[in-house]
């Protein structure tokens, strides 16, 4: 029994050391080369006088949809393509967002009208309690 225990006490540290030595090259090799970068960051800019913009989606043609603020802090739906930004406007109210754009250039989003919501709801989420409208086809 003593000889078995003694052999086990000698073999266990040796086995652990061997395992650590074998694992080191894999760990060191993984740290040597950083993963290749598959993207780059581009400042899309804002509408004239704006200080903030937020992209939401980019389609396969590189058209980006989102929103940008104006000097009065309202938000307008915008599309970016290359160096150009296009203001999609609103449906008569102060704010809009463009959430996505398909490959044909049609955008989906939300926009406020100038009509107060009769129930006092803020469905669009801009804090104005105006009715969200639907763009005409």
Q: What is the pLDDT of residue 41?
A: 85
What is the SS3 string spanning the chain? CHHHHHHHHHHHHHHHHHHHHHHHHHHHHHHHCCCCCCCCCCCCCCCCCCCCEEEEEECCCCCEEEEEECCCCCEEEEEEECCEEEEEECCCCCCEEEEEECCCCCEEEEEEEEEECCCCCCCCCCCCCEEEECCCC
Confidence (pLDDT) at 8: 45
Q: Is the pLDDT of residue 102 over 60?
A: yes
Give the tens place of pLDDT for each residue, 33-92.
Answer: 778 888 888 899 999 999 999 999 999 999 999 999 999 999 999 999 998 999 999 999
What does the domain layout of the chain look like in residue ranges?
A: 53-133
The pLDDT score that the predictor gives to residue 10 is: 56
pTM of the model: 0.70
């Amino acid at each position: 029994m003593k000889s078995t225990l003694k052999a086990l006490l000698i073999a266990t540290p040796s086995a652990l050391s061997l395992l650590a030595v074998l694992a080191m090259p894999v760990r060191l090799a993984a740290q040597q080369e950083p993963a290749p970068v598959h993207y780059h960051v581009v400042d899309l800019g804002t509408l004239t006088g704006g200080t903030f913009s937020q992209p939401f989606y980019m389609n396969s043609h590189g058209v980006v949809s989102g929103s940008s603020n104006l000097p009065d802090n309202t938000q307008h739906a915008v599309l970016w393509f290359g160096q150009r930004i296009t203001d999609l406007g609103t449906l008569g109210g102060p704010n809009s967002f463009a959430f996505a754009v398909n490959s044909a250039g049609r955008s989906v989003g939300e926009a406020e009208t100038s009509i107060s919501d009769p129930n006092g709801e803020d469905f669009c989420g801009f804090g104005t309690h105006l009715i969200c409208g639907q763009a005409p086809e």
